[in-house]
Amino acid sequence: MEFTKWQGCGNDFVVVDFLDKEPIDFAALAVKMCDRHFGIGADGLMVVCPSETADVRMREFNPDGTEPEMCGNGIRCFARYLYDYGRVAKEQFTIETIAGTMVPRIILSDGDVTAVEVDMGVPVLEGEKIPVAGFGAERIIAQPLTVDSTVYKMTCVSMGNPHCVIFVDDAESFPLLELGAQFENHPAFPRKINTEFVEVKSRTHARMRVWERGAGITLACGTGTCATLTAGVLNNVLDRAAEIEVDGGVIHVAWHENGHIFMTGPAEPVFTGEWQGTL
């Protein structure tokens, strides 16, 4: 089985193309391929599938085999794969995901791909839709959340997948490894949660670190940067366009007046190969 490996700000993915193949047990394949000691090593497996509603369908699987609704860095890498390998013949196209139809645009300079912009749609802010227990249709802005006997102020957003944004004084020193899983598995979040720990540097610059559902600490999270900007605007600490600095680089996010979030960042090939492992 041929594969390609990609990274966006250090968030890395394996892409396999099943546009013309019968599906297999992708969850089991993800567990093996994403293993950093016995497999290829990645934050997720992306599968190219046919779609009846868009140009292509994207399926993604975490290293533990779970299937999240969306992945921002992943969809940029996925989009560039489609463009580079001729699976689409245009610079702007549609991708079906569990979270809905996303619209990436390949950004070129002198014929070379320099970045990928994605219309990530409109952020979901109602508690019951994110979901967060006990909030109904209420927006969750700077609400208390107790983790390990400490009360944090959470702002929650769904970008097709659930996010909890916590503003902190120092993102670098926050004990992410010790507390990340406690946020992910907190009973307030019935479908678990991705958690961003954000230090605001200025109204157009924030430092973000992330713990992702099913993956743990990653170098970047595209949907997390979108959630961070949304939370920053709702808390009046960020402008509607800002650079979100993650462990692996910088992603530009803008919340347009039509309500849509646009995310722009890198998507780079790492290597290609042939998988000879078994399920």
Say whether 221 is catalytic.
Answer: yes
Q: Which pair of structure tokens corresponds to residue 187?
A: 């009973």
Q: Helices H, strands E: what count in the chain?
A: 4, 17
Catalytic residue among 71, 156, 164, 226: 71
Say whether 71 is catalytic.
Answer: yes
Contacts of 19 by beta carbon, 8 Å cutoff, 6+ apart: 48, 49, 50, 56, 87
Catalytic residue among 9, 77, 164, 221: 221
What single-letter amino acid sits at 56?
A: V
**Burial classification of residue 187, based on how many CB atoms lie within 10 Å of its CB (0-12 exposed, 13-18 middle, 19 or more buried):** exposed
**Burial classification of residue 23, based on how many CB atoms lie within 10 Å of its CB (0-12 exposed, 13-18 middle, 19 or more buried):** exposed
Q: Of 181, 170, 161, 169, which Cα lies nearest the Cα of 225?
A: 161
Q: Of 77, 78, 73, 119, which Cα lies nearest the Cα of 218?
A: 73
Q: Residues with catalytic annotation? A: 71, 221
